[in-house]
Amino acid sequence: MNTLKKNSLVLLSFPVGNYQCNCSILYSDKTREAIIIDPGNDHDFILQKVKDLNIKVKKLIHTHAHFDHIGRSTEVANATGATLHLHKGDQFLYDALPQQGVFFRQVVGAPRPIDSYLEDNEEFSFLDPEIKTFLKTIHTPGHTPGSCSFYTEYFDEPMLFAGDTLFQRSIGRSDLPGGDGRLIIKSIKERLFNLPDETRVIAGHGDETRIFEEKKYNPFLC
């Protein structure tokens, strides 16, 4: 588990679900309000974590709408009162969650409606006056049409939550419905590689990396 804290903002990142999607929770240890990035497909685990931390989840934001990142978000939202947020480009994948569940050998009911569509450069904040605006959306299509990354400079090092767009020495697959191999490389090179070189990258799965490492060593991008 990855844990960071600056002032009253706390970040926890950990793998969840049978495909070990990296989920991240950002919360204020003063107001207890929280945002969860990619709750994954294990709502029981997430809800227990919410209870243990004694946090109030305000929003569930998603890098994209593949089942392993969003498969149980309806259950988490219903249990916590949080709102659901996803880029409109992935609505067709979200609507197909029951069919995705069949592929993952899980029974999934119809998902609840998205409360608000993510927009490029959309920012997130808490009521906690120490934190204010701390997270920005970057639309990075290619893995899916609506794939998004989330970026923050609040901590001592800039951090990027890249979903399945950028991995350590790899990139997201583009052979699934809505994928585009040229577009994912364009998103990485034109959007993510413009971030500071020292930016820490929490990928959708696996180990974290840094922007300068991927510029230098990623065989798909060199």
**pLDDT at 132 (0 to 100):** 85
Instruction: Tell me the percentage of the chain whose pLDDT exceeds 70.
Output: 99
**Taking 80 as the threshold, does the pLDDT of residue 164 lie above it?**
yes
Q: d(Cα 106, Cα 177) in Å, to the nearest integer?
A: 20
Closest CA to 139 of 188, 206, 211, 210: 188
The amino acid at 192? L
**pLDDT at 110 (0 to 100):** 83
Helix or strand run (H / E) with residue 87: strand 83-87
Bridge partner list, 33: 56
The radius of gyration computed from the CA coordinates of the chain, to the nearest angstrom, equals 16
Q: Is the pTM of this model over 0.85?
A: yes
Mean model confidence pLDDT for the chain: 95
Helix or strand run (H / E) with residue 70: helix 67-70
pLDDT tens by residue, 92-131:
999 999 999 787 777 677 899 999 999 999 999 999 998 9
pLDDT tens by residue, 14-33:
999 888 999 999 999 999 99
Full set of structural domains in the chain with CATH: 2-217 (3.60.15.10)
Q: d(Cα 66, Cα 31) in Å, to the nearest integer?
A: 31
71: left (phi over 0), alpha (psi -120 to 50) or beta: alpha
pLDDT tens by residue, 181-201:
999 999 999 999 999 999 999
